[in-house]
Structure 1
Amino acid sequence: MKIIYIFPPLGHAGTQVRSMPLMPPVLEYLAGLTSRVRPDADIRLINANVERFEVDELCADVVGISILTHQSSWAYRTADRLRARGVKVMLGGPHPSVLPDEAKQHADSVVVGEAESVLATVLEDVERGEMQPFYHGQLLPVDGAAFPRRDLAPGYVFRSFFTSRGCPYDCKFCATPELHGHHMRYRPIEDVILDLGSCKHKMWFCTDADSWGPNVPRYTDLFREMATSLPGIHWVGETSIASVQHPMGEEMLRWARRSGLMQVWIGWESFSDATLREYGATPKMLDEREEALKKIRDNGIDVVLFIMLGARNESLDEYQRVLEMCDRLAVTPHPVMVVPYPGTAMHQELRQDTLHFGEWDYYDGMHSILTQQGGDNLAHEEALKQLWVDSFTWPRILRRLKALPFKGFPNAHIASGIVQAALRKAFLEFRALETAKGK
């Protein structure tokens, strides 16, 4: 059986981002899961961000496309072209999982939710020519999860691993609890160690929703074992700030750095307490955010802050405030517009206040789609672009590198330099594309 898995372009309206040091985790994991249930399968992985290919030349028994919301237009067009030629298509991922009826208009089958419990059945049905319209995955324990196939797409700086699924928080802008459950499912520590040790790669990205989640003793044990069993690896992850304020937070951080953690991307969301309350994000922040941030950096770990702007009736002054606060804290911002994604509480709650509702090309984090007082949405988009320009000047990049504690040298400094340069490059490419389109 020949199977092709595709990850669509991340750029606006299906454009390639070109700067992508990380192999899309979903591709490698689907390949590993497929190899487990169908060892004889001939698998091809296509990251459409970096690989050029002709859709009309693809031949397979089935093509699977995993879709994020703003990728859906490109994915649907591609699926329609494949099906017009008689190629079977299955769609999955976050967007089809929360809008399966929409996705089914462009697919032979839609995999709703996680694939582990249904993929074997899907492929059996493909072979028999009896694909069902929907396959509903169950939230299974992640003990014994398949190892990703990391041999099918060489050349990436980072490879991925995971240690847990789920999220106990109820942020209105996030679909993770809807997709992966409100309760944490932990992968056994020995499985994580075996997975990371199964290949010689040294640079990793942890795909957990929170790389040091609410069970601080568990993560401390994990990092201690990683430091002991896997010397020489380096990794980056996404985290929240609350765990750092745990009584064991300092010990967890020390072992995290010793395990090779170079940098964390923190869901900071906003510098405004009122906006955090509106987003329902206060429980994952707790009280001493800046003190916790200082603890992370003092332990030699670099920080990037995810910050959402463009809340309803938010002042344009907030964009300059973000720049000033990040300058004061000497941290890297990753600013985006707030997006009411399908599957989130915000999606329905703000339906009447969302411009371009259901027009998924606008849900890319660079468009202001929540109504603003006076209709100043374009002004917000320009303010966001200016924030990107100002945030990633070379003098600011160098000042952040200089402010990193020597305890993290050289790994945190290398990670910070690479990521800041990559963010600068990605934005300049985005701006050049918009200029070419006459925007």
Structure 2
Amino acid sequence: MTKILFTTPCQPYPTQFENDSLTDVASQRLCKGQDIFTLRGHVHCYGLHLIAQNISQPSILLEYPSWDYFEKEVRKGYDFVGISFFQTCTDMVLDMCKIIRRVAPETKIVLGHYGALTFNAAFPEDYKKEHADYVCIGEGIKFFRTLLGEPLDSPISQSYLPRCGDNLPWLDRHPGGNNSFVIAGLGCPSGCDFCATTEMHANERIMLYPPDKVFEEIKRIYRSFPNTVQVTVYDEDFLKYTEEVRELGRLVQEDSEFGLRKINWFALSSIESLNQYDWDELALTGFGGTFIGIESKFAPTSGYQKRTGDAKETIEELQKRGITCLGGLMLGFDFHDRINIHEDINYYISLGLVSHQISRVSPLPGTPLWYRLKEENRLFDIPWVDQNFYGGGMKYKNFEPHEVEALVLESLKKYYQTWGPSLMRQFRVDLNGYEYCHASSHRLLREERAERHKESCERLYPLLRASEHFAPNGIVRRKIRQLAERYTKNFGTPAPSQEIMSYYVLLKAFQAKIREGIDPINRHPKQEPFKIYRYDKNNGQSEPPYKVLYPNKDYGYEFYRDWRGIKEQGFTKVLDYIDKILAPDKAAKTTTSMDVRCR
């Protein structure tokens, strides 16, 4: 039997821009620069799990291993070790390759993910052969099936992909998973020159899961994990494929078990792809949120096709219907000068996105942008740890690198001072969604989707008081108070339990503010817990296809989760009792788990 080991790079990981954690997308990118309201979360390495689930051989998957354990595991003599990594971790992965060569010289090394694209482009052939036997550029399931001599046309399956989640760290230091994942496709045919995904898949899109399979997995997720807030349907531009989106929407609308009342899916999109639909049509599919690569106001006239269309109108129409919009802005394009870059920043801020990613144009090795800048002698030799969204690594046409970096920080600050915390922006979008759907003539919007937005508003209400108290300025404070007025107008006086929870959150916010002044949270970038996933290939279809092991017992974490569970259970019972006594006409409107979403 062939022995296979999959792994991520070993920890500890290098920190990112502003000393952020590499594995925390919320604080590193999407909610960056929001004072105590910056969310923190965790993600998993879905590509490795997808491959492990779709080969016939058993395998071991190490997620965020320690160096000692990695070497110990490699000594067991695997036939293949597959390492998935970002370019930021290149130095670490090269050291891992040296360990494998030293302690298990017969083992074949396979490198994958965006780091493999970097490795393939940046190093000479002799150096690459010294460190790796195979470099996977493209879709990993097909690559490994070919490597193992397995049928390429076997059906693809995915089930129980590990869940991720975000929360305010002063409400929950270790947020549990409330966001699940389904992978519909890989790659993108739009051909943006800075995009590693496009280059990884040769400007093509590969469908992995048809809409009926996506829908089946979404339903299984909601059955297995009733606390699921949202399901991410991953594809680089899923909304581009109208037949798939409309079929998924049809299945959601016809479903009597969950339907629009519960199903809430998130996907990446573009301005071009979104404008293929009627806006109400999108709301009727269960589409709840999207990340849009806006990149620049000037992108549509600068060769970036998928940015074509009116971004402001598109985002306004979506968020009016309760569809959350996130978006990216990149600073430092060749067309940016010292005047229009500020026009770009102000335009982007005017969009009122719920969450934002403001970064520098950065040439990832292996992309067309990187090759062009290399020919023009405009690449800087920067450390691998700085090869990221904020690292730059290039000579900008009209700016010094530190100027672009300063503009990123200035833009983040301005966004927060204009719109306030992402949690309150999400609250506004859910209020919009409730008001629009409640007034709609379409039964499914009025009776089902409106209820989902109402639940989300009730869940977020306890955060209002703290957000208003610690708002960055009076303008934002006024906006938050107006949200409170809209809430009361739509749903009546909040339940006593909601008011009690809001004072509890305010107290925790005071504590967080004091701690931040004494010991800023970014002094302690988090590292993820080391997990082993054992894919034995003998699990039933109704259970996860893996067993999870924790080699390093964290008794502090276990005590925290157990004690938190006891507190939440007790607090919920007390609040329910208070509501029954003081407001028997109101159903329980809050959850002490404080699950949040800005997607």
TM over 0.5: yes
170-179 or 322-331: bigger deviation: 322-331
Cα deviation per residue 1:53-100 (whole Å; 9 max; x = unaligned)?
Answer: 743333351431112322322222222223322263321123324643
One of 82, 85, 92 as aligned partner of 1:64: 82
- Give the TM-score, by structure 1 length: 0.76
**1:204–1:236 CA contact under 8 A, matched in 2:** yes
Q: Which residue of 2 aligns with 1:346?
A: 369
Shift of 1:52: 8.6
Shift of 1:209: 0.3
Change (3 A) 1:320 1:288: closer
Change (3 A) 1:180 1:42: closer
Show the 5 A alignment for 1:307-322. 307-312=329-334, 314-315=336-337, 321=343
Shift of 1:303: 0.8
Percentage of matched positions with identical amino acids: 18
**What is the one-letter code of the residue matched to 1:336?**
S
Q: Which residue of 1 aligns with 2:42?
A: 21
Change (3 A) 1:255 1:375: closer
Cα deviation per residue 1:303-325 (whole Å; 9 max; x = unaligned)?
Answer: 11111112247346666555533
Work out which of the two has the higher radius of gyration on C-alpha atoms and give 1 or 2. 2
Q: Which residue of 2 aligns with 1:112?
A: 137
- Structure 2 residue runs of 5 or longer lacking an equivalent are 25-39, 166-175, 435-452, 468-515, 526-599
Shift of 1:380: 1.7
Cα deviation per residue 1:369-397 (whole Å; 9 max; x = unaligned)?
Answer: 33135762112213323333443469611
Q: Which residue of 1 aligns with 2:103?
A: 85
313-322 or 325-334: bigger deviation: 313-322
**What is the one-letter code of the residue matched to 1:119?**
F
Q: Which residue of 1 aligns with 2:242?
A: 216
Shift of 1:430: 6.0
333-342 or 76-85: bigger deviation: 76-85
- Structure 1 residue runs of 5 or longer lacking an equivalent are 126-137, 434-439
Change (3 A) 1:395 1:219: closer
Show the 5 A alignment for 1:264-283. 264-271=290-297, 273=298, 275-278=299-302, 280-281=303-304, 283=305
**What is the one-letter code of the residue matched to 1:45?**
L
Show the 5 A alignment for 1:355-434. 355-357=379-381, 359-372=383-396, 376-392=400-416, 396-397=420-421, 400-401=425-426, 403-404=428-429, 405-407=431-433, 409-410=453-454
**1:63–1:90 CA contact under 8 A, matched in 2:** yes
**2:336–2:398 CA contact under 8 A, matched in 1:** no
**What is the one-letter code of the residue matched to 1:304?**
L
Is residue 2:10 matched to residue 1:4?
no
One of 270, 273, 276 as aligned partner of 1:243: 273
Q: Which residue of 2 aligns with 1:254?
A: 283
**What is the one-letter code of the residue matched to 1:63?**
V
**1:312–1:372 CA contact under 8 A, matched in 2:** yes
Q: Which residue of 1 aligns with 2:489?
A: none
Question: Once superposed, what is the RMSD of the aligned Cα atoms?
Answer: 3.8
Show the 5 A alignment for 1:93-132. 93-97=113-117, 99-100=119-120, 101=125, 103-123=128-148
Larger RCO: Structure 1 or Structure 2 (Cα < 8 Å, ≥ 6 residues apart)?
Answer: 2
Shift of 1:355: 3.4
**What is the one-letter code of the residue matched to 1:289?**
A
- Give the TM-score, by structure 2 length: 0.57
**1:262–1:412 CA contact under 8 A, matched in 2:** no
- Partners of 2:418 and 2:98 lie apart in 1 by 44
Change (3 A) 1:121 1:223: same
**2:111–2:135 CA contact under 8 A, matched in 1:** yes
Shift of 1:240: 0.7
Aligned residues between the structures: 395
**2:163–2:178 CA contact under 8 A, matched in 1:** no
Change (3 A) 1:72 1:406: same
**1:320–1:387 CA contact under 8 A, matched in 2:** no
Shift of 1:293: 1.6
Shift of 1:364: 0.4
Shift of 1:265: 0.8
